Amino acid sequence: MNYLAHLHLGGDAPAELLGSLYGDFVKGPLAGQWPAAIEAGIALHRRIDAFTDSHPLQAQARARFPAQRRRVAGIFLDLFFDHCLARDWQQYSDQPLQRFTSRVYGVLAAEAQLPGNLQHIAPRMAAQDWLGSYRDFEVLEQVIAGMSRRLSRPGLLDGGLEDLRGLYEPLSDDFSAFYPALMRFAREQRAQL
């Protein structure tokens, strides 16, 4: 799952939102460096990633990609599933997407010390409405291009958008089958943390 899904699954409190996002920027053991609620959000983020990576519906979705792109299919699925979540947001949340994303951007802006690259990314994320822009499938082209520039092998993601376009319907079905199970898992895990 990518940013939007992690934020949606992680809980509504500011510390939960921060922890949901920090999971992509904080590595290694959690040893009290962050407040307990943020560390619980980071732990939840990691559990969501592990559940997602090992789920049979994810394996089915990855197998839809051509053999030469299966190594990076998870990257494309993370982005595409955020697109599906943004596109179908009203099915998964009572809160309008714009209100949710505005709240997330406000929480990020109010945080004095964001970890790692997030301190540089957060202002651009808000200014360009990264989370809300996922509604538009064509935005994925820009996201993939940006990711490609940061990879040591820039051509690794070439052709991925065309794959996503060709697999749009079956991958949308995969998302619809998988996301409710992921929501249940995240709810159970939040109760335990």
Q: Which residues contact 189 (CB under 8 A, 6 or more apart)?
A: 44, 47, 48
Q: Where do the structural domains in the chain lie, given as residue ranges?
A: 3-191
Q: Which of 39-48, 80-89, 110-119, 144-153 is predicted with the least confidence, judged by mean pLDDT?
A: 144-153
> Does pLDDT of 17 surpass 80?
yes
User: Do residues 63 and 170 lie in contact, with contact meaning Cβ atoms separated by under 8 Å?
Assistant: no
- Within 10 angstroms of residue 146's Cβ, the number of other Cβ atoms is 9
User: CA torsion, points 50, 147, 139, 3, in degrees to nearest 10?
Assistant: 30
Residue 176 confidence class, pLDDT cut points 50, 70, 90: very high
Q: What pLDDT was estimated at residue 148?
A: 85
The Cα–Cα gap between 69 and 74 comes to 10
Task: For residue 1, name the pLDDT band (cuts at 50, 70, 90).
Answer: low
Average pLDDT of the chain to the nearest whole number? 94
H-type alpha helices, 64-96: 73-87, 89-92
Quote the pLDDT of residue 146: 86
Task: Provide the strand spans (E) within 73-127.
Answer: none
- Which backbone phi and psi does 46 adopt, to 5 degrees? -65, -40
Contact by Cβ (8 Å): 157, 151: yes
DSSP for residue 128: T
Q: What is the pLDDT of residue 114?
A: 95
Rounded to a whole number of angstroms, the CA Rg of the chain reads 16
Instruction: Report residue 188: phi and psi, to 5°.
Output: -60, -45
Confidence of residue 153 (pLDDT cuts 50, 70, 90): confident
Q: Report the alpha-carbon distance of residue 58 to residue 46 in Å, rounded.
A: 16
What integer pLDDT is reported at residue 106 of this predicted model?
A: 97
